[in-house]
């Protein structure tokens, strides 16, 4: 059964947040040394961004950063970075201007904003970097949750995962091409592709 043949217009109305996204926004993803824990925030290793204009990815940025905490083995298995490799990454300040230049004045879209935006804010405050002058943060994972649950797509408490939506919407799986390793810029591109499908789902 094709995706189009399963569209229920009344349920598609639950995707109103996607239908009303601007024509120009930035999809952001991060990779880190681990999760938030009793010691505080993990270190940000990689900041990936894809600028979307009229449904097409027009610019891609990936900035690697030396983290303040050691990379945990569990995180290394997910993001593919070597524990010693990240120690040689640039200092956070060295490429922050590139991040500012791309995202300032834009809406940021993240599939797990509760983690990614919190991590980015900790990174900014920890290294006294210039704050990002953005119009807002949109969480595609949360926004997709009511629709996904209504049609029986598996969701966590945060909403449907990127992998789950990728499979359901028949989006090219960039992670699978990389041996299921997470890359911030690839994940941003994949999120953009998922969002395009949800925008068109009416």
**Residue-wise pLDDT tens digits, 76-131:** 999 999 999 999 999 999 999 999 999 999 999 999 999 999 999 999 999 999 99
What does the pLDDT look like over 38-88, one tens digit per residue? 999 999 999 999 999 999 999 999 999 999 999 999 999 999 999 999 999
Give the C-alpha separation, 75 to 106, whole Å.
Answer: 29
As given in the structure block, the two tokens for residue 116 are 């990614």
Tell me how far apart the alpha carbons of residues 26 and 48 are, in angstroms, rounded to a whole number. 10
Under a CB-based contact definition with an 8 Å cutoff, are residues 198 and 52 in contact?
A: no
The beta strand positions in 23-159, using DSSP E, are: 24-32, 44-53, 56-64, 107-110, 136-139
Q: Where are the domains of the chain?
A: 4-200
pTM (two decimals): 0.94
Secondary structure tally for the chain: helices H, strands E: 9, 5
How many whole angstroms separate alpha carbon 39 and alpha carbon 69?
A: 10
Q: Which CATH class is domain 4-200?
A: alpha beta
The whole-angstrom separation of Cα 195 and Cα 156 is: 19
SS3 165: helix
Please choose, from the candidates 64, 36, 71, 35, the residue with its C-alpha nearest in 3D space to the C-alpha of residue 49.
Answer: 64
Q: Report the SS3 class of residue 95.
A: helix
């Amino acid at each position: 059964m094709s995706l189009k043949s399963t569209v229920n217009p009344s349920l598609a109305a639950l995707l109103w947040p996607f239908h009303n996204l601007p024509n120009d926004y930035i999809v952001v993803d991060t990779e880190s040394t681990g999760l938030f824990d009793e010691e505080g925030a993990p270190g940000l290793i990689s900041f990936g961004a894809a600028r979307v204009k009229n449904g097409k990815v027009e610019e891609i940025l990936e900035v690697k950063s030396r983290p303040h905490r050691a990379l945990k083995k569990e995180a290394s298995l997910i993001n593919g970075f070597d524990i010693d490799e990240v120690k040689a990454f640039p200092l956070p300040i060295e490429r922050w201007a590139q991040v500012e230049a791309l995202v300032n004045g834009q809406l940021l879209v993240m599939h797990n904003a509760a983690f990614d935006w919190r991590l980015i804010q900790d990174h900014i405050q920890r290294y006294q970097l210039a704050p990002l002058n953005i119009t807002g943060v949109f969480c595609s994972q949360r926004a997709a949750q009511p629709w996904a649950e209504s049609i029986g797509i598996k969701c966590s408490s945060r909403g449907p995962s990127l992998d789950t939506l990728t499979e359901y919407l028949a989006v090219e799986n960039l992670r699978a091409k990389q041996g299921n390793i997470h890359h911030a810029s690839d994940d941003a591109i994949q999120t953009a592709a998922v969002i395009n499908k949800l925008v068109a789902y009416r």
